[in-house]
Structure 1
Amino acid sequence: MAKSLSQFKYMTFDVVGTLIDFEGGIKDCLSAIAAEAGVSVDGEEALSLYRAARYSDEADLFPDDLVRVYLSIAPKLGLPAEQKYGEQLRDSAKNWKGFPDSAEALASLGKTHKLIAMTNARRWAFEYFSKELGNPFHAAFTVDDTGTEKPDPAFFQKVFDFVATEGNSKDDILHVAQSQYHDIGISRKLGMTNCWIERRHAQKGYGGTIEPAEFTKPDYHFTSMAGLADAVKEASA
């Protein structure tokens, strides 16, 4: 049996896809470019092409890599393959929205737990994401801070080392994320207790997130951040 939600001191969070609706942000930006070009794009097709292009040997750090990704997928979507549009997609990250329940849930969870962000995004983008979410984090780790991306265990070790400076360990952490590939599988292998936020529960496929080699059953499972926040309130009552 997993520990009670009230027993953890920390919650670590994947940000892009769990708290920030990057799929919606990408689709909105591509739709705007398409409208300017006088064409239309299928959002799910665009995400499928994005996923294939994003996870390549040529990938750069996120979201800077969206320039390269755009130039790769634009011809397949009937969009103009111009640098300025790639930069428009990259810069759209500054305006990506949190899921409707993210900020309120984080504000609630922050009353009982220390919240730590763990994102494969660069620090410049994370600052926009954090502001969108109400700056709820006790600490934050980006790809610029760790020098690597999840699911590399070294990323998680940076966080373990940090909580150790506060006299705690990975056993005091509940890791919360939507990505089976980047977070849920590796957190299980590292002996963490985890919580899967299944954002795409009403949709087929993995959208813009790479499909895992195998599915990992999480310790906790909700389809929204609101569900997690409500469960923590109940456990803490």
Structure 2
Amino acid sequence: MSHEARQARLRPTLISFDVFGTLISVRDSSYGAFERILAETGAHRVDVEAFWEHWEHRNIVHYCKPYRTYREICELSLEETFVHFGLTGDGRLINHYFDAFPRFFLYDDVVRTLDRLSRRYRLAVVSNIDDDLLALTPLQREFDLVCTAQRAKGYKPDGALFRYLIEHAGCAKEEILHVGQSQFTDLVGGKPLGLTIAWINRRQLALDDSVPRPDFIFADIQSLNDLVEL
């Protein structure tokens, strides 16, 4: 690599990460729980992936409303998704999803990438989650800063969670690099506040015309090794 290329690398003070979909493969990890939810509802012909995506869409809608816990939002969204698919089901079945958290799995590049970055940079997580649920996941490591919806009393994308990050980062927002996979929470929530964002497009999706443009686009988080100085 040339001297000029080395000079072009970023030197953030803090690198923050979305968790679900960026570090944890949440869809593949949780489809089994949703298959069980549908089975207990007698909805054997409903496509689990379509059901899951509608449920997640309803979650995002509720993130922009007055604060509720993540558990409450997920239960409400499940009830709404049952209605959308013409089903009769109990929202408390969402406990199958929460019970699956310890069995969720990290993407293959996560541990080695975070280990490498942590030698030089402060690391944070920024997650639409309750603290106790985050603690159940296999993301068993210490971060320099933990930003959850429970602590911020708000979510991405309405800005509350990113404002919490900025307020507690211990550095200027221009020194933060945020890394996330969601167009509709990470980009919509973070870019209007002036954050630098690397969009992790693991699923090779098209960037929606309605969302702010990311500063960088990568297929995985190990690509950050080529963006920042190490």
TM-score by length of 1: 0.77
Q: Residues 35 and 4 from structure 1, CA distance in 2 versus in 1: closer, same or farther, beyond 3 angstroms? A: farther
Alignment of 1:49-198 (within 5 A): 49-54=54-59, 55-56=61-62, 60-74=68-82, 81-82=89-90, 85-129=93-137, 132-164=138-170, 168-198=171-201
Is 85-94 or 35-44 further displaced after alignment?
35-44
Alignment correspondent of 1:208 = none
Pairwise CA distance, 1:219: 1.4
Deviations 1:148-202 (A, max 9, x none): 11223332232222233xxx2112110111112212233222222111001221x
Is 93-102 or 51-60 further displaced after alignment?
51-60
Equivalent-residue separation in structure 2 for 1:169 and 1:226 (angstroms): 25
Alignment correspondent of 2:4 = none
Pairwise CA distance, 1:142: 0.8
Cα RMSD (Å): 3.0
Structure 1 position 231 matched with structure 2 position 206: no
Which structure 1 residue ranges, 5 or more long, are not aligned?
206-211
Equivalent-residue separation in structure 1 for 2:12 and 2:186 (angstroms): 18
Alignment correspondent of 2:53 = 48
- Paired residue type of 1:86: I
Which structure 2 residue ranges, 5 or more long, are not aligned?
1-6
- Paired residue type of 1:217: R
Q: Percent identity?
A: 22
Asked if 2 retains the 8 angstrom alpha-carbon contact of 1:197 and 1:222, the reply is yes
Moved over 3 A (4+): 3-6, 32-38, 56-60, 74-80
Pairwise CA distance, 1:227: 2.0
SS at match of 1:176: strand
Pairwise CA distance, 1:22: 1.9
Is 151-160 or 111-120 further displaced after alignment?
151-160
Equivalent-residue separation in structure 2 for 1:97 and 1:78 (angstroms): 32
Deviations 1:194-213 (A, max 9, x none): 11001221x679xxxxxx67
Alignment correspondent of 1:25 = 29
Q: Residues 94 and 59 from structure 1, CA distance in 2 versus in 1: closer, same or farther, beyond 3 angstroms? A: farther
SS at match of 2:169: helix
SS at match of 2:177: strand
SS at match of 2:100: helix
Deviations 1:95-148 (A, max 9, x none): 32222222222122212211111111111111123xx12314111011111111
SS at match of 2:179: strand
- Paired residue type of 1:171: E
Equivalent-residue separation in structure 1 for 2:206 and 2:175 (angstroms): 34
